[in-house]
Structure 1
Amino acid sequence: MEGEHACRLLDISPGGARLMARIVPPDQTRVVLMIPSLGRIEGRIVRREGEEFSVAFNAPQRKRDKLADAITWRFNKDRLGLDEDRTAPRKPGRGRARIVLADGVIIQANVLDVSVTGAAFECLERPRIGEPLRVGEMSGRVARILDNGFAVVFDPPQAKTSGPEAA
């Protein structure tokens, strides 16, 4: 039973999820869940009953901690009517970017999204969080590691001065 199958998320925690589907995989089947706003999560089927089944996630503690934060935010965001927690709206990106790390290493990456304050990139390379870099004329630092790449927060623009004080 390979391939993609639609399912409905009934319940989720940092350790696993309960789902409903017309086609239920056998026990111990490895699955990859793509959950909107939470991303890609791997696990194994641990329990089945009718059209419902439970998945135990196979994720390191760091990913479980991030998942717990994301679940908490999503629950409270909807319940309390909050807006997204971004400081600037993001727009879908397109094309490729040339990213230069502080040590001179150049990364070619797909642009996932961009805003005035940052951008997200898809690539195999994962620089360290906090590592300084340049994207075109913009300088910044790595803010987060994503499943498929990393996100950058840009440095604030420097105020340009003119006249004798600038010398």
Structure 2
Amino acid sequence: MHDEYGRLDRRKIKIAARGAQERRRHARVPLQLHGRLWSEAGGEHACRLIDISPGGARIVSRMRMVDGTRVVLMVTSIGRIEGQIVRQAGDEISIRFNAPLRKRDKLADAITWRFNKDRLGLDEDRTAPRKPGRGRAKILLSDGVVIQANVVDVSVTGAAFECLERPRVGEALRVGEMSGRVARILDNGFAVVFDPPEADASGHEAA
């Protein structure tokens, strides 16, 4: 019976991991990063990201191209991505990426890591540069204790940390600029779910 429960637990974990991977693969996140946009006809021009997902991006650029133009977008810490122009409105350009599934998965990890790196105050693990999501974080617990933890995985809504300390489930904490609570205890650490952004008086999310 234990073996059966073990198989079921492992199956649930795999299903949950696939679901998280799918959400990450399609998540669009705001990233204000500078980059370069290249096309065969127009050459190379400076640009700035507005938001990005593994399927495409919105950028600001003075480059003028017709819809359907094949381009290459290059952004530091994200990488080089090929795509095509699908829409333009003034200086705002929408690009759809042309990338196989494996490339999109890697792109999703890179985007998620870059989105979280600054707001969570993460120190990148220089020994594992090809594994976005790895790094070190300082976590402030509700009693004022600060712990150091390895980042196991990170997403837009939460993160998993590896450390010896085991805070209580539901305990409030802070990681960088983000507040959250302990969602569950793991074999090697714990998982955190971040609080949603505060809304202003008009009901919009605070920037």
Instruction: Provide the C-alpha distance between the structure 2 equivalents of 1:14 and 1:67, rounded to a whole number of angstroms.
Output: 6
Q: What residue in structure 1 maps to residue 93 of structure 2?
A: 53
Instruction: Provide the C-alpha distance between the structure 2 equivalents of 1:46 and 1:4, rounded to a whole number of angstroms.
Output: 18
Q: What residue in structure 1 maps to residue 199 of structure 2?
A: none
Match of 2:42, as an amino acid? Answer: E
Does the 8 A contact of 1:24 with 1:52 survive in 2?
no
Equivalenced residue count is 89
Does the 8 A contact of 2:42 with 2:63 survive in 1?
no
Matching of residue 70 in structure 1 with residue 110 in structure 2: yes
Q: 1:7 aligns with which of 39, 47, 51?
A: 47
Aligned-pair Cα RMSD in Å: 1.5
Of Structure 1 and Structure 2, which has the larger fraction of its residues in helix? Answer: 2
Instruction: Provide the C-alpha distance between the structure 1 equivalents of 2:44 and 2:99, rounded to a whole number of angstroms.
Output: 21
Q: Alignment partner of 1:7: what SS?
A: strand
Q: Identity across aligned pairs (percent)? A: 75
Q: What residue in structure 2 maps to residue 27 of structure 1?
A: 67
Deviation at 1:86, TM superposition (A): 2.6
Deviation at 1:2, TM superposition (A): 2.5
Deviation at 1:39, TM superposition (A): 1.1
Deviation at 1:38, TM superposition (A): 1.2
Q: What residue in structure 1 maps to residue 122 of structure 2?
A: 82
Does the 8 A contact of 1:41 with 1:57 survive in 2?
yes
Instruction: Provide the C-alpha distance between the structure 1 equivalents of 2:56 and 2:71, rounded to a whole number of angstroms.
Output: 12
Instruction: Provide the C-alpha distance between the structure 2 equivalents of 1:57 and 1:88, rounded to a whole number of angstroms.
Output: 26
Cα distance change on mapping 1:68 and 1:88 into 2, 3 Å: closer
Tell which structure's C-alpha radius of gyration is larger: 1
Q: Alignment partner of 1:5: what SS?
A: strand
Structure 2 unaligned residues grouped into runs of 5+? 1-40, 130-207
Deviation at 1:88, TM superposition (A): 7.2
Instruction: Provide the C-alpha distance between the structure 1 equivalents of 2:42 and 2:112, rounded to a whole number of angstroms.
Output: 32
Matching of residue 39 in structure 1 with residue 79 in structure 2: yes
Instruction: Provide the C-alpha distance between the structure 1 equivalents of 2:102 and 2:94, rounded to a whole number of angstroms.
Output: 22
Q: What residue in structure 2 maps to residue 134 of structure 1?
A: none
TM, length-normalised to structure 2 = 0.41
